[in-house]
Amino acid sequence: MAPVSISDRIQALGRTVGSFVGVVARQPVDIDLISATIHRGCMGLPQELVDHVIDMLHDDLPALKSCSLTCKAMFASTRHLIHKTLCLTPRNNKSVLTQEEKKRFRRLIHAPWYRDVQLRFLSYMGERGLLQYTRRIYIYTPRPVYIPDLGVFTPDTLLPHLHHFRSLNRVRALTIENYDADAWRHHCKSYFAHFYPTLTSLTLCHPLGHYQSYLQFALQFPNLEYLCLDWPDEGNEGVRPTRPAPPSVSTIFDQPSLIHGHLRLVNMDYAVRLPMNLAYDLRNGFKLRSVELEGTSLNLGQHVIDANANTIQDLTIISSGCKALRYIKLMGIKDLRRLTMHPRILTSSDIAFEFLPIHTITSNTLRELVLVVCRHCFCFDGLYWSRWTYIDGFLYERFAEHGDFRLVIKAGNLDGLCAFQGHVEEGFPLLASIGRVRFESFGLVDGCWDCSAPS
């Protein structure tokens, strides 16, 4: 008897098993046909199609993560977008702890401010070589109310992961919540010097310390174009008293200006007790082309505008219920190109007064006036149409001769915008007659109108 090969035995066993379970015999697979459909390790997806999909989904992170699991080409092409933003949050830090770390810190696993695990996600990404794709960093270390000095981002929390932090040499945007200016006063250069060539955007949310320390931290970045200082609301329990100015920053504003970009001040009056001093510092330390004031009083807002009147081209004023902003004067601005007015009011009777600052514009350079309205502005009566018509005549006389001037009305959603459109055309008949009025919507947030400043 001729010897039986192992292959023949396996085939015979398969036929026997198939006869018992009723398995239908399948056609053999053509290996050459499969090889012909593989493109750079990806089954049936050419690189041109992969690039097109990525262009369509470049700002949809969940969709990009799903696509990256489909094939090798998608995986390789989406890595730089998926890991573009590094979020150092308690959730991410806890998710990457090993079993040893969880066992070691079993009593502290619910304490995200603990130094060794607070920024664990940073080392996790660095060990896998993914920090090379990082362009934006968001650092959130929650501060418990019952222990106010713990949980902030300090040199002690960053020290265990410093070697990975220094490998981030292409970061353009940095956002830090609970920034402690006093803790970083003597460590700014040693920890952040590698950000100097590339960092252009800095946001400090709920910072601790004196405001001059915030500006000192910002002024060390020579290429900074955007600076946002955001404090909690007045009723927030996390607001702490302003600390005295550190002596080391008393002369920093004698240096040449390093910032020529955008400044955003949010709820400034809730944290700064001496707005006049801040305005003086801004006058000597900044030359701004774009300014956004939200929840800022007339005193501070006017000084910020006057300090940068020669350079401001884009001004946004969000009243946030502060009626004093309607008295701001804009006659000193020489080259204003875009003005955005966003009154957050509860009664429609006040809306016309909030727009009065446009009458103080003396330059003829304005090319776009943006009026953001919320749902409370939809109910108008005839008593206030004269105010709108007066504004319409002023804009038509001053700026209609410029072919690129336009009035933009932004509302909460498309339905409200359509209902509001007829009233606005009646209130601005001259500009509407020459097609200089445009309507936009900035969508819904959780089923409600988003009354935040549109970007």
H, E, C per residue of 264-325: EEECHHHCCCCHHHHHHHHHHHECCCEEEEECCCHHHHHHHHHHCCCCCCEEEEECCCCHHH
Ramachandran class of 86: left when φ > 0, alpha when ψ lies in -120 to 50, beta otherwise: beta
Give residue 131's pLDDT: 92
Residues 6+ apart with CB under 8 A from 107: none
What pLDDT is recorded for position 327?
Answer: 72
Which contacts of 43-51 are long-range, i.e. CB under 8 A and separated by 24 or more positions? Answer: 43/71, 45/70, 45/71, 45/73, 45/74, 47/73, 47/77, 50/74, 50/77, 51/77
Asked if residue 2 belongs to a domain, the reply is no
- How far apart (Å, rounded) are the C-alpha atoms in residues 58 and 377? 36
CA distances (Å), 46 to each of 53, 56, 81, 320, 451, in order?
11, 16, 19, 51, 43
Instruction: Identify whether 387 is part of a domain.
Output: yes
Cα 343–Cα 348–Cα 353 angle in degrees, nearest 5: 55
Rounded distance, CA 404 to CA 411, Å?
Answer: 22
Backbone angles phi, psi at 129, to 5 degrees: 70, 25
Per-residue pLDDT of the chain (455 residues; tens, 9 = 90+): 556 554 565 455 445 544 444 444 444 444 344 334 444 445 556 777 777 777 777 777 778 777 777 777 777 777 777 888 899 988 888 888 888 777 766 655 445 445 666 788 999 999 988 899 899 999 987 765 555 555 568 888 888 899 999 999 999 999 998 888 888 888 888 899 999 999 988 988 888 777 778 778 887 888 888 888 876 543 333 333 333 333 333 333 333 344 557 777 776 554 444 445 565 665 555 677 888 887 666 677 777 788 788 888 898 887 755 455 567 788 888 889 999 887 665 444 444 545 567 778 877 888 898 887 765 444 444 445 556 677 788 888 888 777 788 888 777 655 555 656 666 667 778 888 888 888 777 653 333 333 333 33
For the residues of 241-270, what is the DSSP string, one character each? PPPPPPGGGTTGGGSPP-B-SEEEEESGGG
CA neighbor of 195 nearest in space, from 151, 245, 135? 135
> Given this model, what pLDDT does residue 379 score?
44
* Interatomic CA distance for residues 265 and 42, integer angstroms: 49
Within the chain, how many helices (H) and strands (E) appear?
Answer: 19, 16
Residue 431 belongs to a domain: yes
356 inside domain: yes
CA distance 452 to 220: 30
Tally of structural domains, the chain: 1
In a domain, 434, yes or no: yes
Q: In this structure, is residue 407 part of a structural domain?
A: yes
Which two tokens mark 434? Answer: 């020459």
pTM of the model: 0.68
- 442, 412 contact by CB (below 8 A): yes
- Per the domain annotation, does 207 fall within a domain? no
pLDDT of residue 39: 44
The residue among 379, 343, 338, 350 whose CA lies nearest residue 451 is 343
Q: What letter does residue 378 receive in the DSSP assignment?
A: G
Place of tokens 């002596």: 247
Beta strand ranges found along 365-421 (DSSP E) = 368-372, 406-411
Question: Domain for residue 455, yes or no?
Answer: yes
Range of the domain at 452: 313-455
